[in-house]
């Protein structure tokens, strides 16, 4: 018997369609992206996380001459958040990535390892995290949960 997963996401046409807090997250992700450390790929990524207390944590990708030792923006940011605010829930995660000089592109979704890491925090806090991924030009895709980006996810319930 064939079965299907249905994934839901919202396509937000442009920056102007975001509400105030979403605009702030977009601005902060775009800004922190400017100082991403990505000398090897020249693909720069910025991430902004909104906490339930209103605080916003930002981060960027951090590369390494030993390539696999580098880390994506989403994990840099969510691990910092987990380390420093372990009891504070994450409401939203906003990510913008593109080649450094790109002016327009399609929204770049989080990589598989980042999805798995985000899932861990969503499961830990027993509350979904809204994920936004945007192009530098301002088109944005939004999901209500990381599970929309990670069907057949592996979590601690299997251990």
Site residues (CB under 6 A) for ligand THU? Answer: 38, 41, 43, 45, 61, 63, 70, 72-74, 97, 110-111, 114
Nearer to ligand THU, 35 or 52 (CB): 35
CA distance 7 to 138: 22
Nearer to ligand THU, 69 or 158 (CB): 69
DSSP 18-39: S-HHHHHHHHHHHHHHTT-B-T
Residue 63 CB, nearest approach to ligand THU (Å): 5
Q: Which of 22, 63, 74, 122 does the annotation list as catalytic?
A: 74
74 catalytic residue (yes or no) = yes
Nearer to ligand THU, 110 or 138 (CB): 110
Nearer to ligand THU, 17 or 99 (CB): 99
**Catalytic residue annotation:** 74
């Amino acid at each position: 018997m064939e079965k299907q997963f249905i994934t839901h996401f919202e396509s937000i046409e442009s920056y102007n369609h975001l509400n105030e807090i979403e605009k702030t997250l977009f601005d902060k992700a775009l800004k922190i992206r400017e100082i991403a450390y990505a000398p090897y790929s020249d693909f720069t990524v910025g991430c902004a996380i909104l906490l339930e207390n209103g605080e916003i944590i930002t981060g960027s990708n951090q590369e390494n001459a030993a390539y696999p030792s580098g880390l994506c923006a989403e994990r840099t940011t969510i691990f910092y958040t987990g380390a420093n605010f372990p009891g504070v829930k994450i409401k939203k995660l906003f990510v913008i990535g593109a080649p450094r000089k790109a002016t327009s592109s399609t929204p770049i979704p989080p990589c598989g390892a980042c999805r798995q890491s985000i899932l861990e925090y969503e499961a830990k806090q027993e509350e979904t995290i809204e994920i936004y991924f945007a192009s530098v030009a301002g088109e944005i895709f939004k999901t209500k949960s990381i599970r929309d980006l990670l069907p057949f996810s592996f979590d601690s319930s299997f251990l």
